[in-house]
Chain A
Amino acid sequence: MDKLINQFEFGLFFWQVLIFVGLILLLKKFAWKPILDAVNEREEGIKNALQSAEQARKDMENLMSNNEKLAAEARAERDAMMKEAREIKEKMINDAKAEAQIQGEKMIEQAKAAIESEKNAAMADLKNQVSALSLEIAEKLLKDELSNKEAQAKLVEKMLGDAKLN
């Protein structure tokens, strides 16, 4: 113990404390603080980068699910539209068909009526013609027959016979 105490040197102690405390203060200002700050800053930076990457991943996921939702909506809308279009088409076709039928029927009716009236007119005309011709023929025949007495008689007879046949 005595030997150990004898080893104590005041001068060495003085210099050691002076230099060491000075070194602590100097290094604190010029080295440790900048180093620890830089390390902390870097660690924070890494943490933030990781967090923002995670956030970006989440955003991306959200975006993708949104996209999917939108796409599904669009698909549903398209399907609905197509269905509607099909329905409209069918309805139009049906409507057209119905109308065409009605129209056709009407036209047929009209045609029928026209035909009927034409027929009637033609018949009337025919009757007139026939009566006129008959009169003409009768006139001619009478003229001929009346020029010959015998012939006239025969004709009258014949005509009478014809008229009977009629």
Chain B
Amino acid sequence: MVISRKPSHLIVAALLALMPLLSIANENHGEATSTHATEAVAPAGEEGHGEGHETGDIRSEIKSHINHHVLDSHDFTLFADDKEGKHFGFPLPVILWDGELHMFSSAEFHHAENGVVESNGKYYVLSHHDGKIYRTDASGTLTEDEKSGHPTNVHPIDLSITKSVLFIIITAILMFFLFTRLAKSYAKNGGIPKGMVRIFEPLVVFIRDEIAIPNIGEKNYKKYMSYLLTIFFFILFLNLFGLTPLGVNVTGNLTITFSLAILTFLITNLTANKNYWGHIFWMPGVPYLMRIVLAPIELLGVFIKPFSLMIRLYANIFAGHIVIMSIIGLMFIFKSWIGSPLSFGLAFVLSILEILVAFLQAYIFTMLTALYFGSANEEHHHEEAHH
């Protein structure tokens, strides 16, 4: 019996692998219902719905569910009952800045008639088309741009605590709790970590010895360590949260990856030394004419580097979520004894792959960030030896 040799490993692996399936299966129900609900509330629904054809119905439901899942949302739905149109979850606070501060619960969008919420004399509606809040009138009309289909209504500055923001806060608190505990356990036990938190020590040492020091160098790596460690664990935790039954897609959100990339961009360029700028605008070791040609290319590279960071993380996580959810969706479309277990098995394998991707993308992002920091800190003599 090979299976019984390491039963605990197998069970843990199986549970971990099953988690995202559970989540997405739940979400599938829940989000699909919420789509229902919002469509029932907002008359401007344009999803191909209720055409009588059953598979078409499920297909469009799955499609709209996936579209909703990968985007941020203003409330937190754990699961819902499709037939009764009830959600089980909780609303999140909506904070808008539209000349003045407006604050109300996102539940009001569902409770109010037409989905229009009145706050301080202004009317707002949640567009189910792109999940954004728009200013509207009392009847809740949304004028749509003919070309793109986006509402042309005024979009107030939306500082709501959305699902993603909630998970960023949870991750931040979790990280703070875990790593301060790790830090304290050193002091308490005379330099040797104790308890569950010590599983993070190898990762911390790995980032220092395998990512920071080889890429940045002994001399300068210390000032970047806090950023590298924070960004690694932040991305890792959020990637893994995306695979849990909670089913959030934070690192697969372009805004998040943009903000992480822009921080890397800013730190790289603000801490860069003379040599780094010299390499961009006046490349040493090449003919003068070439230097003029190279300068704009190098300058472009400064922006392309963080851009590639942003797209890489976003695309990997986003695609992972879409693929897994599509395959799970197939289960509901096949509804047969062969097709459903097949797609279940496929989803199972892909989920395990996604766990690997979660670690890999966190590693790659940190690794490339360290590489850019290293290029900003390269010493002159090193360059001369290079050319």
Chain A residues with a Cβ under 8 A of chain B: 2, 4, 6-17, 19-24, 26-28, 30-36, 38-39, 41-42, 45
Contact = CB atoms under 8 A, between A and B. Distances in A.
A6 B150 contact: yes
B25 interface: no
Contacts of B226: 24, 27-28, 32-33
A-B residue pairs, 4 tightest by C-beta: A31-B179, A38-B186, A34-B183, A28-B226
- Sorting the interface of chain B by its residue count into under 10, 10 to 19, 20 to 34 or 35 or more gives 35 or more
B186 A35 contact: yes
Contacts of A16: 164-165, 168, 255-256, 259-260
Contact of B179 (A10, A19, A32): A32
A8 B150 CA distance: 14
B227 A24 contact: yes
B255 A20 contact: no
B230 A12 contact: no
Interface in B123-172: 130, 132, 148, 150, 157-162, 164-165, 168-169, 172
A12 B187 contact: no
A12 B258 CA distance: 11
Given A11-B162, A16-B255, A30-B180, 11 more contacts: A12-B164, A14-B159, A16-B259, A20-B168, A22-B172, A23-B230, A24-B226, A31-B179, A31-B183, A34-B186, A39-B201
Interface string B340-353: 00000000000000
Contact of A11 (B157, B227, B234, B258): B157
Contacts of A2: 148
B71 interface: yes
A23 B172 contact: yes
B99 interface: no
Tell me the dominant secondary structure on chain B's binding face: helix
A36 B225 contact: yes
A39 B204 contact: yes
B182 interface: yes
A27 B205 contact: no
A14 B132 CA distance: 16
Contacts of A8: 254-255, 258
B263 interface: yes
Contact of A4 (B148, B175, B225, B254): B254
Nearest to B96: A11
B163 to A, nearest CB: 10
A7 B225 CA distance: 31
Contacts of B168: 15-16, 19-20
B229 interface: yes
A9 B255 CA distance: 6
A23 B254 contact: no
A15 B186 contact: no
A155 B268 CA distance: 170
Contacts of B175: 23, 27
Most chain B CB within a 10 A radius of its CB, from A13, A20, A42: A20
A15 B165 contact: yes
B230 A24 contact: yes
B225 A32 contact: yes
A31 B258 contact: no
Contacts of A7: 71, 253-255
A34 B187 contact: yes
Nearest to B183: A34
B192 A42 contact: yes
Most chain B CB within a 10 A radius of its CB, from A6, A24, A32, A35: A35
Interface in B254-272: 254-256, 258-260, 263
A36 B175 CA distance: 16
A123 B259 CA distance: 151
B191 A45 contact: yes
Given A11-B158, A38-B191, A31 B180 contact: yes
A23 to B, nearest CB: 5
A11 B159 contact: yes
